Amino acid sequence: MSSIERVYPLENPQFIKPIAIDYRLKGIQRRWEAIISHDSVSILLYHKEKNAFIVVKQLRVPVLNANKKNGMMYELCAGIVDKKMPLVQIAQEEVFEECGYKVPLESIERVSSFYTSVGISGALQTLFFAQIDESMHLSDGGGLIEEDIEVITIPLEEAKTFMFDETYQKTPGLMMAFYWFFEQKRVQTQD
């Protein structure tokens, strides 16, 4: 069980930078508090042999702090853009690091980009898709040492129910990616 020990102002942040933004709207001077954060990639993984999505479950401390009970989130495999390399390559590395699948770059498809956390950071996330199989499964995944990532399989026949079952805490990006799959990819994976 996870719990919050203390909450305090952040000094010398490693991944974000708190800022104030002065701006003018309709002739009135205003101020907005925000953070500068890294852009990110996320990857929807469809396992052809299992006819299932592969997602991750991990502790998100801000969620735990907000609801005081449970910070475990179901999410797409994802990671921050903190290296100077093509986004598709960062996506490939994240799939291996978090889920244990070695996916060829040419098998990773760019879907779209969208802004996340628009009220506080406005970071850009790029969504990718990859169809995987067991021949690509080379490790258990689990993320970096400071992460505690569990790889989860969600059968396609359960995915639509999962999307709206509020007992599973999930991100809107995961829900949007599932919708995209059912609208755009489902027919292509039936062969």
86 is a domain residue? yes
Cα–Cα dist 92/41, whole Å:
10
Total count of domains within the chain: 1
In a domain, 85, yes or no: yes
How far apart CA 61 and CA 3 sit, in angstroms, is: 9
Tell me, yes or no, whether 141 lies in a domain.
yes
List the beta strands (DSSP E) in the chain.
16-25, 28-37, 40-47, 52-59, 72-75, 77-80, 108-116, 123-132, 150-155
pLDDT in tens, 69-100: 899 999 999 999 999 999 999 999 999 999 99
Mean pLDDT of 171-185: 94
Taking the model in full, what pTM does it have? 0.89
Rounded to an integer, the average pLDDT of 126-146 is: 93
Q: Which residues contact 89 (CB under 8 A, 6 or more apart)?
A: 105
CATH number at residue 180: 3.90.79.10
What percent of the chain has a predicted confidence (pLDDT) above 90? 69
Q: Give the pLDDT of residue 1.
A: 66
In a domain, 66, yes or no: yes
Distance, in Å, from the CA atom of 71 to the CA atom of 51, rounded to the nearest integer, reads: 28
**Domain carrying residue 143:** 38-190
Could you tell me if residue 84 is inside a domain?
A: yes
Greater confidence, 187 or 105? 105
The more confident residue out of 127 and 19 is: 127
In 165-179, which positions are buried (b, 16+ CB within 10 angstroms) versus exposed (e)? eeebebbebbbbbbe
Quickly state the pLDDT bin for 147 (edges 50, 70, 90).
confident
pLDDT of 104 above 60? yes
Q: How confident is the model at residue 4 (pLDDT cuts 50, 70, 90)?
A: confident
Averaged pLDDT score across all residues of the chain: 91
**pLDDT band at residue 186 using 50, 70 and 90 as cut-offs:** low
The span from the CA of 47 to the CA of 159, in Å, is: 13
In a domain, 73, yes or no: yes
pLDDT given at position 146: 80
User: What is the percent of the chain with per-residue pLDDT over 70, rounded to a whole number?
Assistant: 96
Please report whether residue 17 resides in a domain. Answer: no
Q: 191: pLDDT confidence band, cut at 50, 70 and 90?
A: very low
Residue 176 belongs to a domain = yes
